[in-house]
């Protein structure tokens, strides 16, 4: 009996000695709390984002991780609902002890989650939502965005329209976009930049359907009656697909130039519409499968295809970029626990991404924590390289980040 007691005591003592080592080993993890919509019209964005984030984690962890740390992420369906996302973000921080909040597709959700990030001083890496309010009006030091914002897209759009006006004069413009921050930001920023670049125009209509509106027919008929030379839309995801399908039935694209510089050129549109997608639409997005034609981008697109059996929507590249941004910041700091040091590292981050053309490297602007990237706008034309799409973008116009970033006086005014 005494021998058994001694053995049990020895085992217990050994367990106590090993336990701190086990706990320490478990702590060698970079914990990410991610949220994306997984169902409905925006669901594909979330599904692609998760796949691309996991692809990046596998690449990094497969090479030994970051300074001995493995990257691990928990993914939750945001349901595209701000109040629900706030509860999830709070749980991630207070219970799961994540080092980073991550993801988000809807700007409305992003604006809610950034307040949680600020309250708990937890870094939030935004990978897909685009409202400029997050980096200008509502700027807070723990938020960073690794995909382009609406201001850059709309500034590029204004320059495109200026160049077009010099070649093929146009006078009137109309707008339709979702009735929340993202939609309003685009329209306000486009008009600001049209005035900034001296582009004369007359607004003949503006319309504000709800996000995920099922029926756009009444809006389409009103827009046709407005007879704009340029129709600018601020939709994203399935809303873009639904609007274009409904507008096409009315012959709208024979009467006006369709222009969607922020989220129109997503592969989701090309794959959903196939040969039915009209030629000549002018679209922009945050990542393209066929631009830039670089080894880095080709490898990303083909690796994603090999992993999932389909080509990526632009949301995928944002999630992929976000994981690599975290890895690079932790590598610079040495650990994921020093939040303030990580903020400094992210504020001066330079990182080569699949959407960077040769000779350019994406970088974070320390004033806004917004990633600065080249912006490309293209025109729909026949292309069978990425089935089931039958149309892709081409005839590219590319704009430098320093030409399309918010000017200092704009930022100062918005932050008053």
Cα separation of 35 and 88, whole Å? 8
The neighbouring-strand residues paired with 206 are 175
* Domain range enclosing 397: 151-291+375-414
Tell whether 235 and 283 lie within a shared domain: yes
Q: Are strands 100-103 and 123-126 parallel, antiparallel or unpaired?
A: parallel
Task: Report if residue 127 sits inside a domain.
Answer: yes
Task: Report if residue 9 sits inside a domain.
Answer: no
For residue 252, give the CATH number of its domain: 3.40.50.2300
Cα–Cα distances in angstroms (integers) from residue 312 to residues 172, 206, 293, 396, in the given order: 35, 32, 15, 20
Tell whether 93 and 228 lie within a shared domain: no
| 3-state secondary structure at position 360 | coil
Place 23 in a pLDDT band, splitting at 50, 70 and 90: very low
pLDDT at 295: 98
Q: Is the CB of residue 159 less than 8 Å from the CB of residue 403?
A: yes
Query: pLDDT, tens digit, for every residue of 256-269?
Result: 999 999 999 999 99
Cis preceding-peptide flag for 327 (omega within 30 of 0): no
Tell whether 121 and 165 lie within a shared domain: no
Tell whether 164 and 229 lie within a shared domain: yes
Tell whether 48 and 118 lie within a shared domain: yes
pLDDT at 41: 84
User: Token digits for 36?
Assistant: 């994306």
Average pLDDT estimate for 374-380: 98
Tell whether 207 and 259 lie within a shared domain: yes
Q: Is the CB of residue 98 less than 8 Å from the CB of residue 142?
A: no
Place 26 in a pLDDT band, splitting at 50, 70 and 90: low
pTM above 0.85, yes or no: yes
pLDDT at 363: 98
Place 40 in a pLDDT band, splitting at 50, 70 and 90: confident
Q: Is the CB of residue 294 less than 8 Å from the CB of residue 357?
A: yes
The structural domain count of the chain equals 2
Cα–Cα distances in angstroms (integers) from residue 389 to residues 54, 274, 382, 385, in the given order: 25, 5, 9, 8
Cα separation of 383 and 136, whole Å? 38
Collect all residues with Cβ–Cβ distance below 8 Å to 242 and sequence separation of at least 6.
41, 213, 214, 216
Tell whether 261 and 242 lie within a shared domain: yes
Query: pLDDT, tens digit, for every residue of 187-242?
Result: 999 999 999 999 999 999 999 999 899 899 999 999 999 999 999 999 988 899 99
Query: pLDDT, tens digit, for every residue of 56-73?
Result: 999 999 999 999 999 999
Q: How many CA atoms lie within 13 A of 236 on its CB side?
A: 26
Tell whether 36 and 83 lie within a shared domain: yes
pLDDT at 375: 97
Average pLDDT estimate for 306-312: 98
Query: pLDDT, tens digit, for every residue of 123-137?
Result: 999 999 999 999 999
pLDDT at 24: 42
Tell whether 181 and 286 lie within a shared domain: yes
Task: Report if residue 129 sits inside a domain.
Answer: yes
Beta strands in 266-374 (DSSP E): 282-284, 350-351, 362-365, 370-372
pLDDT at 237: 86
Task: Report if residue 4 sits inside a domain.
Answer: no
Place 255 in a pLDDT band, splitting at 50, 70 and 90: confident
Task: Report if residue 7 sits inside a domain.
Answer: no
């Amino acid at each position: 009996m005494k021998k058994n007691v001694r053995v049990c005591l020895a085992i217990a003592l050994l367990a106590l000695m090993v336990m701190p080592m086990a706990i320490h080993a478990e702590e060698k993890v970079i914990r990410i709390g991610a949220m994306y919509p997984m169902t409905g019209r925006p669901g594909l964005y979330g599904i692609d984002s998760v796949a691309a984030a996991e692809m990046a984690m596998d690449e990094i962890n497969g090479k030994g991780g970051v300074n001995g740390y493995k990257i691990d992420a928990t993914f939750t369906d945001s349901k595209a609902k701000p109040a629900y996302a706030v509860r999830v973000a709070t749980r991630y921080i207070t219970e799961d002890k994540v080092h980073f909040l991550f993801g988000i597709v809807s700007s409305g959700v992003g604006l809610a989650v950034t307040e949680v990030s600020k309250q708990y001083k937890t870094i939030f890496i935004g990978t897909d939502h685009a409202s400029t309010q997050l980096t200008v009006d509502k700027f807070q030091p723990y938020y960073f965005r690794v995909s382009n914002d609406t201001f850059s897209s709309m500034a590029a759009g204004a320059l495109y329209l200026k160049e077009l006006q010099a070649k093929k004069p146009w006078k009137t413009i109309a707008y339709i976009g979702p009735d929340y921050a993202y939609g309003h930001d685009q329209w306000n920023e486009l008009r600001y930049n049209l005035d900034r670049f001296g582009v004369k125009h007359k607004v003949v209509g503006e319309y504000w359907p709800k996000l995920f509106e099922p029926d756009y027919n009444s809006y389409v008929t009103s827009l046709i009656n407005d007879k704009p030379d340029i129709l600018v839309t601020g939709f994203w995801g399935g809303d873009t697909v639904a609007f274009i399908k409904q507008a096409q039935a009315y012959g709208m694209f024979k009467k006006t130039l369709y222009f969607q510089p922020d989220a129109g050129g997503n592969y989701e549109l090309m794959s959903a519409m196939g040969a039915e997608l009209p030629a000549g639409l002018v679209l922009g997005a945050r990542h393209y499968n066929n631009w830039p034609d670089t080894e880095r981008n080709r490898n990303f697109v083909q690796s994603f295809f090999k992993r999932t059996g389909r080509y990526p929507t632009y949301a995928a590249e944002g999630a992929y970029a976000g994981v690599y941004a975290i890895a690079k910041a932790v590598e610079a700091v040495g650990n994921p626990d020093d939040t303030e040091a990580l903020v400094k590292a992210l504020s001066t981050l330079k990182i080569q991404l699949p959407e960077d053309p040769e000779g350019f490297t994406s970088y974070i602007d320390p004033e806004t924590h917004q990633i600065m990237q080249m912006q490309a706008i293209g025109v729909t034309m026949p292309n069978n390289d990425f089935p089931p799409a039958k149309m892709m973008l081409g005839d590219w116009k590319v704009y430098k980040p320093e030409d399309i970033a918010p000017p200092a006086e704009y930022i100062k005014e918005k932050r008053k």
